[in-house]
Amino acid sequence: MLKTIIRERRSIKKFNGKAVALSDVTAVLKDAAWAPNHGNREPWRFVVAADKGLDAIRNTMKECTIPKWNMMTEEELEQKTAGFKLPGAFVFVIIPEDSRQKERFEDFSAACALIQNAQLLAWEKGIGTCWKTPVWIDAPKFRQALDVKPGERILAMLQFGYYDELPKAKERTPIEKKITYFG
């Protein structure tokens, strides 16, 4: 079963606009948090926008995406921000930026494992996801809106949603071409 989910999961970029229940997002995160993490530091926290929070986060993203929005036509602005309307929930994964390099890499890796867990668990529930790192994610105004503290970093914007079409799988390089056997 796990092998099938790993192979069949796709990043969904075209959501159908149906809302994802906050309880479903919370359930996914609850199980995803069992990701391996050194010293059980659990180096993550989340800002979740679902249900009532969707309109507020979409407005915040729109404001932070286009700093010179007043120089664009309404049509151009609409086109640039259209992708924010269709995901049914958003999860922002926030991690500490430890000054110690080893711990920083461990925390980053653990959070990446958590995100993969979340994507697989959501897929198992019939919910698509897409892991995004938009350029505006570090904008001071956006960080402030999410209450991201100095010494923290927004690692990812994880979109959750339902979809009507399943993207086709992309070919993978045979693993034998990626392995060097030592000895």
pLDDT digits (tens, 9 = 90+) for 109-138: 999 999 999 999 999 999 999 999 988 889
Domain ranges of the chain: 15-164
Q: What is the pLDDT of residue 164?
A: 94
More confident residue, 71 or 45: 45
Give the model's confidence band at 67: pLDDT under 50 very low, under 70 low, under 90 confident, else very high: low
What gap in Å lies between CA 58 and CA 90, rounded to an integer?
9
| Of 81, 109, 95, 104, the residue nearest 156 (C-alpha) | 95
pTM of the predicted model as reported, rounded to 2 decimal places: 0.90
What gap in Å lies between CA 126 and CA 124, rounded to an integer?
6
Give the model's confidence band at 68: pLDDT under 50 very low, under 70 low, under 90 confident, else very high: low
Averaged pLDDT of the chain: 91
Q: What is the pLDDT of residue 4?
A: 92
CATH superfamily of 15-164: NADH Oxidase (3.40.109.10)
List of residues 6+ apart from 64 with CB closer than 8 A? 136, 139, 141, 142, 145
What single DSSP character describes residue 11? Answer: B
